Amino acid sequence: MNDIQKSYDELPYISAAFSETSPARLEALASFLSFTPPSSKSAKVLEIGCSYGGNLFPFAIANPQAKALGIDLSEVQINKAKELAAQMRVDNIEFKAKDICDFTDADVSDYGKFDYIICHGVYSWVPDVVKDAILKTIKRFLSPNGVAYVSYNTYPGWKIKDTIRDCLIFGTKDINGEAAKVAKARELLKVLGEYAKFCQKDGNASQIFVNFESLKFHIDYILTMNDSYIAHEYLEAFNNPIYFKDFANSLEKNDLAYLAEVGLEDVFQSNLGIEEFDTYIDANFGSRIEKEQMLDFLTNRVFRRTMIVHKELIPNDFSVNIGADELCKLHISAGFNKEKDNYKNVSNTPMKPEYDWLYQVFTDVYPASVNFADVAALLKDDENAVKSAYFGFMEILAADCAKLTTYERPKIIYEAGKSRLKERVRGYFEYFCTANEPVIKIADELNASANFSQFDAFIALKFNGENSLENIVKQTVKFARERNLEFTGKNGATIKTVSKNEYQKAAENYVKDLELKLIDGGFLENF
């Protein structure tokens, strides 16, 4: 464990937020699956392996009635997280440098049970004794109707990546220092990539020795990642992928149970969609766990994001049945882009055209949420329209392109004297506008990544409810001119200070775009 701690202290991850871990999303998904999870707004949340707290801060800031505890092995990161909490004036979050193997009742005396327990990017990267401690902690400290989230690398998809990892560990074994190891690893990756290209040449018999196409695919991806990712994903002492069936068995041993994947792919894509193979799977694999494992084999799955509950909540014959009542429990925020006659989601994936009218409804009100019950009420005189809305909602959920909550999310525009940057968010933005090298990444209240530069964060603070948009533009121009800053125009061209009119217009467009980012992120409040 000391080696793990040392590697993270020497080359830490920038601490990001992950939307799939948001307690609000976990609450929504569990409700959708006919469970009764605790309200995320007043929840007690534990994150195992919290780093600098980047994944906890957005939740704690957005939910003043909630309480959050983050633990991590790295004392360096925990001390910084404590410093950030004080600096950003977040009073409902706590951090402890703690080995999960030594986690006791005394550590949670102020919390008791936790409604949501998050463990992202940890389980595969620790020895078996720590894996066991994670699951035992979940069982011991998860509230009766609570939901836990654990992510982990899976076989068979990681088999080829194991080859890459083994090669990198072998090739860097005599290198001291994390930065030097990563530099050597990049060199080795380039050699492997060139070899894979060589193997792709027709008639080259060496291709029989390696799955060169898969090898090249993964190498190209790894080389795009930052040093901390390469260090901790491929050079750590531990990275032990697991078959899903074995993970499910570990849950069983700890009186826990598999609920679903956080992306609901096992609900909406519970088979291959190929009758010949689906019929075979149904005939030969009886349980939901077995079917999921067989699908992992056939789809070469590399990663899972699993929701976990207490075993007693899942009956032996558990199955997911989604009707209108379940759908009505969700408030869904989703925006779509229309290109020519086709709507695409945020992942740029085309959506089924028969629900175009519904995609436009979502887009018109975004980031405000839409509830199926409200839509159905408006369409109640047209049975076919209600049916179309139901299937359209399900299509949006299946595409995993929406923000999900159990409560309504409004759309708040900026207007001086009426709305402002949320008071609880100000400390958060103050940090990002002063930190030249922030150790956390900015995210919205649902842990979705928010693309704000240091300058963006500074100007965002001007949305204080007192300044008009015109005044914010004036302050932006003044600040930018004094520092000889440049704006980027709509066509990507740089707008320099020498062109006064163009510069003014660029500043106006910049402030408008920033306002939209604040609206989309739910960073504004009425007062």
Same domain, 488 and 507: yes
What's residue 9's pLDDT?
55
Judge if 59 and 129 occupy the same domain.
Answer: yes
Q: Is residue 501 part of a domain?
A: yes
336 and 227 belong to one structural domain: no
- CA-to-CA dists, residue 311 to 141, 248, 252, angstroms: 14, 11, 7
Give domain status of residue 510, yes or no. yes
Residue 152 near residue 251, CB atoms below 8 Å: no
In this structure, the answer to whether residues 148 and 34 fall within a common structural domain is yes
Which tokens go with 125? 């990267």
Give the pLDDT confidence score for residue 12 in this predicted structure: 59
Quote the pLDDT of residue 102.
95
Supply the pLDDT for residue 495: 60
State the Cα torsion 291-294-295-296 to the nearest 10°: 120
Instruction: Say whether both 120 and 196 belong to one domain.
Output: no
Distance, in Å, from the CA atom of 95 to the CA atom of 388, rounded to the nearest integer, reads 48
pLDDT of residue 64: 98
Task: Clarify whether residues 467 and 383 are in a common domain.
Answer: no
Tens-binned pLDDT, residue by residue, of the chain (527 aa): 555 555 555 555 689 999 999 999 999 999 999 999 999 999 999 999 999 999 999 999 999 999 999 999 999 999 999 999 999 999 999 999 999 999 999 999 989 999 999 999 999 999 999 999 999 999 999 999 999 999 999 999 888 888 888 888 888 888 888 888 888 889 888 888 887 777 767 655 555 556 777 778 888 888 888 887 777 777 777 788 999 999 999 999 999 999 999 999 999 988 888 898 899 899 989 899 999 999 999 998 999 999 999 999 998 878 888 899 999 999 999 999 998 889 999 989 999 999 999 999 999 999 999 999 999 999 999 999 999 999 999 999 999 999 999 999 999 999 999 999 999 999 999 999 999 999 999 999 999 999 999 999 999 999 999 999 999 999 999 988 888 888 775 555 666 655 678 788 889 999 999 999 999 999 999 99
Structure tokens at 106: 């005394």
The reported pLDDT for the residue numbered 301 is: 94
> Tokens 């949006």 label which residue?
396
Domain endpoint, select from 183, 210, 234: 234
Same domain, 105 and 21: yes
Number of domains in the chain: 4
Asked if residue 276 belongs to a domain, the reply is: no
Give the chain's end-to-end CA distance (angstroms, integer).
49
Residues 126 and 214 both lie in one domain? no
Per-residue confidence (pLDDT) for residue 202, from 0 to 100: 62
Q: Which two tokens stand for residue 367?
A: 């980031």
Phi, psi of 350 (to 5 degrees): -60, 140
Q: Point out the domain boundary residue: 188, 218, 234.
A: 234
CA angle in degrees (0–180, nearest 5) for 271-274-277: 80
325 within some domain: no
Same domain? 451 vs 485: yes
Last residue of a domain, one of 313, 348, 372: 313
Does 499 map to a domain?
yes
3-state secondary structure 390-415: HHHHHHHHHCCCCEEECCCCCCCCCC
For residue 438, cis peptide bond before it (omega within 30 degrees of 0)? no
24 and 125 share one domain: yes
The one-letter code for the residue type at 512 is: K
Residues 186 and 195: beta-carbon distance below 8 Å: no
126 and 250 both lie in a single domain: yes
DSSP state of 352: P
Residue 394 domain boundaries:
330-405
122/141 Cα distance (integer angstroms): 18
CATH of the domain at 90: 3.40.50.150
In a domain, 107, yes or no: yes
Global pTM reads 0.89
Separation between Cα atoms, residue 404 and residue 390, nearest integer Å? 16
| In a domain? residue 319 | no
101 and 23, same structural domain? yes
* Structural domain includes residue 318: no
Tokens of 153: 């690398």
Distance between CA atoms of 249 and 463, rounded to whole angstroms? Answer: 52
The bridge status of strand 114-119 relative to strand 44-48 is parallel
